[in-house]
Amino acid sequence: MEEIVRCSRCILPASLPSVKLDDKGVCNYCNSFDRSFGDWDNVKEMKKKQFEQIIEKVKKQNAEYDCLIPLSGGKDSTYALYVCDKIYNLRCLCITFDNGFLSDYARKNIRNAINATRADHIYYAVNPKTMLELYK
């Protein structure tokens, strides 16, 4: 069996076309992250300010929605909705792609998150027969 060469930090395989390892075995994605966020304590305020500048620019466009949030019912997307709606007062459109494996628990979380915010929400589902063909 051939050994898979991986990034020493994130374990991405070096066989992926976009992954390049440096002389320490660290991939280009980890190095890019370090350049942007490596010294988080010193850059977090600058990054927050950049984010808030983007938000102000978006709000000035006066569109029907300020942001699109892919909502899975998990903690990350639910928190993203919370931050956008409650902290930054953005007009949010959420979308959930139901691939046929969305759990009842996730559906309940989605319903609760939408009811707790001002966001609009779209469920998108493909015919189950079509999904089976796509999975093949």
Q: Which of 112, 126, 30, 33 is nearest to 77 (CA)?
A: 112
**pLDDT one-digit tens code per residue, 1-51:** 788 999 999 999 999 999 999 999 999 999 999 988 888 888 899 999 999
What pLDDT does 99 receive? 86
What residue ranges define each of the domains in the chain, with the CATH number in brackets? 1-38 (no CATH), 44-135 (3.40.50.620)
3-state secondary structure of 93: strand
| 55-59: average pLDDT | 96
* Percent of the chain whose pLDDT exceeds 90: 79
Q: Which of 80, 48, 49 is nearest to 66 (CA)?
A: 80
**pLDDT one-digit tens code per residue, 112-128:** 999 999 999 999 998 88
